C-alpha cells in the first residue's frame, strides 16, 4: 500500500480516537441540557474538580490544608495514606454526588422557572466558584494522575502494520495511542450504560419524562429535585471519566477546564440533546480536524484544528440548526 | 476637634506609602491555568527579599517592601496591578508576562519607572539606546534560539548541515519569537527547519507529534508554555522520540513540566540562564531566616525547583542593582530614576555571586546604557527522572551575538522610528 494512504489512515484513526475524548466531555453537557434545559458552562471545571479530587483522595492530601495551616499555624498536608484508583474513583463519585446535591439545593432550586440565559449565567458563576474551591481544597500545582492507564503507542499495532508498506519505504507502522484505545472502550461502556439506565430503570424513565415535559412529569409525582440531582451526578461521573482521560495526558492542572472548548463544536454538530449525537459529533469533529490539518495544515501555516472544528460545526448548523441528532424545534403561533 | 485631627493624621500615616522602604512590586500569578509556573517564581522572588530583610535589615540599611499583586497571567489585570502599585513608590517592575510587558513598555517609560523582564518580553528591549527603561538581561528569546542551535552544533562536532530540526511552538507572539532567528541560523548552518505550531492551550497535540513521528527530525526544539509543555513531553515519550534530542526553552523547563510524564521524561533538555538545585550557601540562610522562621512565601514547598530559582535570581539581580544605585548616588533611599541607573550599572561577576552565596548561579554579564540585555549567555540543563532533578550539562556559553545583534538593531530601529524615539545614550 502507498505510504501516503497508510499515513492518511493513521491520521483518520487518531482523529476518531481524539473524537472519542471530545465526546466524553460533550456527554456531560448533553445529560444536563437534556434533562433541565441548562447549558452547563461549568462542565469543563467539573472535569477539573473531579480529577483534582481523585488525585487528592488517592494521595491522601488534606483538603483545605493551606487554609487550615494559615489559620491554625499547623503544618498538616497529608493523611499519610495512599488509596488505589478503584476506591479513589468511588470516593470521588461520592464527592460529585454531594456536589450535585449542593448545586441543586443552593443554586438551581432557587432558579426554577427562570429564563435559560439566567440559568446559563448561574453556571458561569458556578464554574468560577468551583475553580476557586478546587484551588482552595487541593492547591494549584500540577498533579500526576496515575490510575494505571497505559501510555504510548501500541507496539503490537505498529509491528502488525509496518509490513503493509512497500519494502524500503519510510513507514514505521500505524501509531495508535494505548490511552486512546482505553478511552474508546470506556466511552463505549459509558454510552451503553447511560442508554440502558435511561431506557430500563425507573429513575432513567423518570429522567426522560422530565426531559420531555417538566410539568407533566411533576403531575405524575416525579420529583424534579431528585431528577436534577441525579442528572448532575451523572454529569459528575462523566466528568470524572473525562478528567481521568485528559488528566492522564497532561497531569491534573487548571487548564484542564479548557477541554470544554473542545466539546462546543461537538455539541453544535451533534445536537445538545442527543447522547449518540455527542458521540457521532465527536467522531466527525475529531476526524475532520485531524484530516484537514494533515492535508491542508502545511499550506495554511499549521494549527488549523481549533478553528476548523468550529467551521465544520457551523457548516452543519447551516443545514441543520438543531444539530445532527438534536430535536427539531417547532414553535406554533 | 483635636481628637478628629489626631485620628485623621494617624489615618494618613497608615494610608501613605512608607517612602523610605525600597518598594519592589511582584506581579505574580498564583491562580488560573498558569499558576503552576507562577507560584514557584513568586515564592522565590519573595523569599530572597525576606532573607535580605531578616538577615541584613534590607539593602544598605533600607528595609524592602514587596507588594504582591495577582495578575492571573492576564494582561489587563497586569496593567491594573501596575496602575494600582506605581504610586506606592515602586522602584522596578517584574511583570512576568510578555503580554503585560508589551503594554507596560510605553507606560513605564512615560512614568520613568524601570522594568526588568528576565528572559521574556520584548527581545529588542536589549537595546538600551531605544528602550531606556526596559531591561531583559541576562538572556532573551533570540539568545535562547541561538543557544539551542549551539548545543546541537556542540553535540554534532560543529556540523549540522542537512540535519532536520523541528520547532514545536505555542501559536502566539511568544511562541513565534525564535522563528526569525532560527531561519537566519538555518541559512548560516544549513540545517532544515520545520515549523509546527500548537494552538492555545496545547492540550491536544496529536497532529504535530504524528508528523514528527512520520518525518523523524533529528532534533525538536520547543517554545511552549503551560499545559502545552506537559502534553508535548508526554507525546514525545509516546512516539518514542529520543528525549536527549528534545530541547525546550527555559519556560518549558520547569519541574512541573516534566513530572507528569514520570520516567518517560528522563533525558529531556531545556535551555537555562541560571543554575538549578539548592546546593548553595544562600539556601542555608533561606532555611534559617525564612523557612525555620515560618516566613516562607506560599506553602514553602517550592524551594530549589527551577522556577523558584528563577524568581530568586530575578530578586537577586534587583537587589544588586539597588546596591549599585545606592553606591552611585551615595544614598540609601532610592527613586525609580536612581534604580534605573543601578540597573544600567549592574555587573554580575563570579566574585559577586560567590559573595552572595550563589557561586556560578548565573552567567556573568555587564549592563550599560546601550546594553540592557546582558551577555546573552545560555546553558543547557537535563532532567533525571529517577532522582527527579535537573543538572546543568552545558555551562553558560555565548550565543551568536553578531546575528542577534543585527536583528535587535533592526527591530529596535523600527520601534524607535514608529515612536519617534531619539537614542538616549550619549
DSSP string, B282-348: HHHHIIIIIITTT--STTS--TTSHHHHHHHHHHHHHHHHHHHHHHHHT-SS--HHHHHHHHHT-EE
- Residue B267: alpha-carbon gap to chain centroid: 23
Distance CA A88, CA A153 (A): 27
Of A139, A250, A305, the CB nearest to B234: A250
**Is A74 an interface residue toward B (CB < 8 Å)?**
no
ipTM: 0.89
Q: What is the pLDDT of residues A135-159, one digit of tens each?
A: 999 988 889 898 999 989 999 999 9
Map grid coordinates 538545585 to a residue: B277
pLDDT for residue B13 is more than 50: no
CA-based torsion, B247, B253, B255, B258: positive or negative: negative
CA-based torsion, B72, B75, B77, B82: positive or negative: positive
The whole-number pLDDT of residue B76 equals 95
Residue B72 gets the label, from left (phi > 0), alpha (psi -120 to 50) or beta, of left
**Is B292 an interface residue toward A (CB < 8 Å)?**
no
**Is B210 an interface residue toward A (CB < 8 Å)?**
yes
From the CA of B335, how many Å to the nearest CA of chain A?
A: 35
Residue A6's φ and ψ, nearest 5 degrees, are: -65, -40
Which of residues B374 and B15 earns the better pLDDT score? B374
| CA distances (Å), origin A133, targets A25, A48, A67, A160 | 21, 11, 11, 48
**Is A251 an interface residue toward B (CB < 8 Å)?**
yes
- Mean pLDDT, residues B209-236: 95
Partners of B34 on chain A (C-beta within 8 Å) are: 255
Q: How many CB atoms lie within 10 A of CB B264?
A: 19
pLDDT for residue B245 is more than 60: yes
Contact B260 A11 (CB under 8 A): no
Nearest CA in chain A to B298: A66
**Is A225 an interface residue toward B (CB < 8 Å)?**
no
Grid coordinates standing for A260? Answer: 470544554
| Per-residue buried b or exposed e for B209-244, using 16+ beta carbons within 10 Å of the residue's own CB | bbbbbbeebbbbbbbbbbbbbbbbbbbbbbbebebe
Q: What is the DSSP letter of B55?
A: I
Strand partners, B197: B169
Nearest CA in chain A to B170: A303
The whole-number pLDDT of residue B20 equals 67
From the CA of A10, how many Å to the nearest CA of chain B?
A: 9
- Mean pLDDT, residues A257-276: 89
Q: What is the pLDDT of residues B25-35, one digit of tens each?
A: 999 999 888 88
Which of residues B393 and A327 earns the better pLDDT score? B393
State pTM to two decimals. Answer: 0.91
pLDDT for residue A227 is more than 60: yes
| Per-residue buried b or exposed e for B66-84, using 16+ beta carbons within 10 Å of the residue's own CB | bbbbbbbbbbebbbebbee
Contact A303 B36 (CB under 8 A): no
Write the burial class of residue B390 (CB in 10 Å: 0-12 exposed, 13-18 middle, 19+ buried).
buried
Distance CA B236, CA B196 (A): 14
- Mean pLDDT, residues B154-170: 97
Contact B240 A11 (CB under 8 A): no
> Please, which residues 127-146 of chain A have a Cβ atom closer than 8 Å to chain B?
132, 135, 139-142, 144-146
CA B207-A40-A179 angle, 5° bins: 30
Of B33, B230, B260, the CB nearest to A254: B33
Asked whether B25 and B88 are in contact (CB, 8 A), the reply is: yes
Q: What is the pLDDT of residues A42-85, one digit of tens each?
A: 999 999 999 999 999 999 999 999 889 888 888 888 998 899 99
The whole-number pLDDT of residue A211 equals 82
Asked whether B140 and B123 are in contact (CB, 8 A), the reply is: yes
Partners of A254 on chain B (C-beta within 8 Å) are: 31-33, 35-36
SS3 for A143?
strand
**Is B260 an interface residue toward A (CB < 8 Å)?**
yes
Q: Please, which pLDDT band fits residue B11 given cuts at 50, 70 and 90?
A: very low
Of A144, A254, A294, the CB nearest to B35: A254
- Mean pLDDT, residues B383-399: 96
Largest CA distance in chain A: 72
Q: What is the pLDDT of residues B259-296, one digit of tens each?
A: 999 999 999 999 999 999 999 999 999 999 999 998 99
Distance CA B51, CA B58 (A): 8
> Please, which residues 262-291 of chain B have a Cβ atom closer than 8 Å to chain A?
262, 264
B203: preceding bond cis by omega (within 30 degrees): no
The whole-number pLDDT of residue A332 equals 65
The whole-number pLDDT of residue A210 equals 87
**Is B199 an interface residue toward A (CB < 8 Å)?**
yes
Q: What is the DSSP string of A166-235?
A: PTT-S------BHHHHHHHHHHHHHHHHHHHHHHHSHHHHHHHHHHH-HHHHHHTT--HHHHHHHHHHHH
pLDDT for residue B1 is more than 80: no
Of B203, B234, B240, the CB nearest to A259: B203
SS3 for A141?
coil
- What is the percent of chain A where pLDDT is above 90? 65
Of B33, B39, B231, the CB nearest to A249: B231
Asked whether A324 and A270 are in contact (CB, 8 A), the reply is: yes
The whole-number pLDDT of residue B14 equals 43
Which of residues A107 and B3 earns the better pLDDT score? A107
Mutate to test the interface with B, among A154, A248, A253, A305 (most CBs of B within 10 A): A253
Distance CA B419, CA B130 (A): 10
Give me chain B's average pLDDT, please. 93
Partners of A152 on chain B (C-beta within 8 Å) are: 237-238, 240, 264
Contact A255 B33 (CB under 8 A): yes
**Is B300 an interface residue toward A (CB < 8 Å)?**
no
Which of residues B52 and A208 earns the better pLDDT score? B52
Q: What is the pLDDT of residues A1-49, one digit of tens each?
A: 889 999 999 999 999 999 999 999 999 999 999 888 899 999 999 999 9
The whole-number pLDDT of residue A329 equals 64
Asked whether A54 and A244 are in contact (CB, 8 A), the reply is: yes
Partners of B214 on chain A (C-beta within 8 Å) are: 7, 170, 172
The whole-number pLDDT of residue A330 equals 64
Grid coordinates standing for B41? Answer: 517564581
Domains and CATH numbers, chain B: 18-139+280-376 (3.40.50.2300), 141-272+379-405 (3.40.50.2300)
Amino acid at each position: 500500500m502507498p505510504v501516503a494512504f497508510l499515513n492518511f489512515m493513521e491520521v483518520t484513526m487518531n482523529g476518531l480516537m481524539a473524537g472519542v475524548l471530545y465526546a466524553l466531555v460533550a456527554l456531560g453537557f448533553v445529560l444536563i441540557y437534556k434533562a433541565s434545559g441548562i447549558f452547563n458552562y461549568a462542565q469543563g471545571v467539573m472535569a477539573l474538580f473531579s480529577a483534582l479530587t481523585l488525585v487528592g483522595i488517592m494521595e491522601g492530601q488534606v483538603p483545605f490544608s493551606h487554609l487550615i495551616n494559615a489559620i491554625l499555624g499547623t503544618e498538616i498536608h497529608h493523611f499519610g495514606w495512599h488509596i488505589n484508583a478503584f476506591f479513589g474513583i468511588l470516593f470521588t463519585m461520592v464527592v460529585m454526588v454531594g456536589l450535585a446535591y449542593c448545586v441543586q439545593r443552593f443554586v438551581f432550586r432557587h432558579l426554577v422557572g427562570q429564563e435559560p440565559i439566567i440559568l446559563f449565567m448561574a453556571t458561569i458563576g458556578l464554574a468560577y466558584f468551583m475553580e476557586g474551591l478546587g484551588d482552595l481544597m487541593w492547591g494549584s500545582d500540577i498533579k500526576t494522575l496515575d490510575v494505571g492507564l497505559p501510555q504510548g503507542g501500541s507496539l503490537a499495532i505498529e509491528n502488525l502494520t509496518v509490513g503493509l508498506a512497500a519494502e524500503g519505504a519510510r513507514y514505521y507502522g500505524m501509531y495508535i495511542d494505548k490511552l486512546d484505545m482505553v478511552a474508546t472502550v470506556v466511552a463505549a461502556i459509558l454510552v451503553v450504560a447511560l442508554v440502558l439506565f435511561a431506557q430500563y430503570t425507573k429513575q432513567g424513565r423518570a429522567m426522560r419524562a422530565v426531559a420531555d415535559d417538566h410539568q407533566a412529569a411533576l403531575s405524575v409525582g416525579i420529583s424534579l429535585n431528585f431528577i436534577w440531582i441525579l442528572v448532575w451526578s451523572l454529569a459528575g461521573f462523566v466528568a470524572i471519566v473525562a478528567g481521568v482521560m485528559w488528566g492522564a495526558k497532561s497531569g491534573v492542572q487548571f487548564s484542564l477546564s479548557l477541554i470544554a472548548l473542545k466539546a462546543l463544536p461537538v455539541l453544535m454538530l451533534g445536537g445538545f440533546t442527543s447522547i449518540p449525537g455527542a458521540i457521532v459529533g465527536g467522531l466527525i469533529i475529531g476526524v475532520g480536524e485531524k484530516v484537514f490539518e494533515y492535508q491542508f495544515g502545511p499550506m495554511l501555516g499549521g494549527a488549523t484544528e481549533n478553528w476548523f472544528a468550529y467551521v465544520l460545526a457551523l457548516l452543519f448548523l447551516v443545514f441543520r440548526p438543531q444539530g445532527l441528532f438534536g430535536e427539531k424545534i417547532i414553535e406554533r403561533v | 476637634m483635636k481628637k478628629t485631627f489626631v485620628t485623621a493624621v494617624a489615618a494618613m500615616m497608615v494610608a501613605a506609602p512608607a517612602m523610605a522602604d525600597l518598594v519592589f512590586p511582584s506581579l505574580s500569578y498564583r491562580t488560573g491555568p498558569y499558576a503552576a509556573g507562577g507560584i514557584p517564581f513568586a515564592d522565590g522572588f519573595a523569599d530572597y527579599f525576606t532573607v535580605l530583610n531578616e538577615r541584613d535589615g534590607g539593602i544598605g540599611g533600607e528595609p524592602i517592601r514587596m507588594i504582591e499583586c495577582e495578575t492571573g497571567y492576564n494582561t489587563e489585570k497586569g496593567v491594573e496591578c501596575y496602575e494600582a502599585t506605581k504610586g506606592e513608590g515602586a522602584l522596578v517592575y517584574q511583570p512576568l508576562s510578555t503580554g503585560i510587558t508589551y503594554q507596560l513598555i510605553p507606560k513605564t517609560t512615560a512614568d520613568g519607572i524601570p522594568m526588568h523582564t528576565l528572559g521574556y518580553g520584548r527581545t529588542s528591549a536589549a537595546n538600551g539606546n531605544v528602550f531606556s527603561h526596559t531591561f531583559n538581561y541576562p538572556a532573551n528569546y533570540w539568545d535562547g534560539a541561538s543557544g539551542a542551535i549551539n548545543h546541537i552544533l556542540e553535540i554534532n562536532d560543529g556540523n549540522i548541515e542537512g540535519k532536520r530540526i523541528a520547532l514545536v511552538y505555542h501559536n502566539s507572539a511568544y511562541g513565534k519569537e525564535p522563528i526569525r532567528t532560527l531561519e537566519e541560523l538555518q541559512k548560516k548552518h544549513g540545517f532544515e527547519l520545520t515549523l509546527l505550531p500548537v494552538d492555545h492551550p496545547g492540550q491536544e497535540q496529536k497532529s504535530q507529534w504524528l508528523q514528527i513521528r512520520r518525518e523523524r527530525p533529528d532534533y525538536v526544539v520547543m517554545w511552549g508554555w503551560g499545559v502545552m509543555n506537559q502534553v508535548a513531553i508526554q507525546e514525545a515519550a509516546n512516539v518514542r522520540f529520543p528525549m536527549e534530542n528534545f530541547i525546550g526553552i527555559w519556560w518549558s523547563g520547569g519541574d512541573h513540566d516534566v513530572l507528569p510524564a514520570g520516567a518517560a521524561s528522563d533525558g529531556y533538555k531545556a535551555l537555562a540562564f541560571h543554575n538549578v538545585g539548592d546546593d548553595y550557601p544562600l539556601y542555608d540562610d533561606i532555611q534559617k531566616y525564612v523557612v525555620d522562621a515560618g516566613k516562607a512565601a506560599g506553602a514553602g514547598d517550592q524551594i530549589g525547583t527551577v522556577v523558584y530559582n528563577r524568581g530568586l535570581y530575578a530578586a537577586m539581580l534587583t537587589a544588586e542593582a539597588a546596591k549599585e544605585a545606592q553606591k552611585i548616588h551615595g544614598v540609601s533611599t532610592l527613586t525609580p530614576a536612581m534604580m534605573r541607573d543601578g540597573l544600567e550599572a549592574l555587573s554580575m561577576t563570579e566574585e559577586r555571586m560567590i559573595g552572595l552565596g550563589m557561586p556560578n548561579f548565573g552567567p556573568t554579564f555587564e549592563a550599560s546604557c546601550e546594553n540592557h540585555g546582558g551577555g546573552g549567555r545560555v546553558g543547557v540543563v537535563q532532567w533525571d527522572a529517577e532522582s527527579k532533578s535537573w543538572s546543568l550539562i552545558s555551562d553558560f556559553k555565548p550565543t551568536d551575538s553578531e546575528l542577534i545583534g543585527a536583528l535587535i538593531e533592526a527591530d529596535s530601529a523600527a520601534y524607535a522610528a514608529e515612536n519617534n524615539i531619539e537614542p538616549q545614550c550619549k
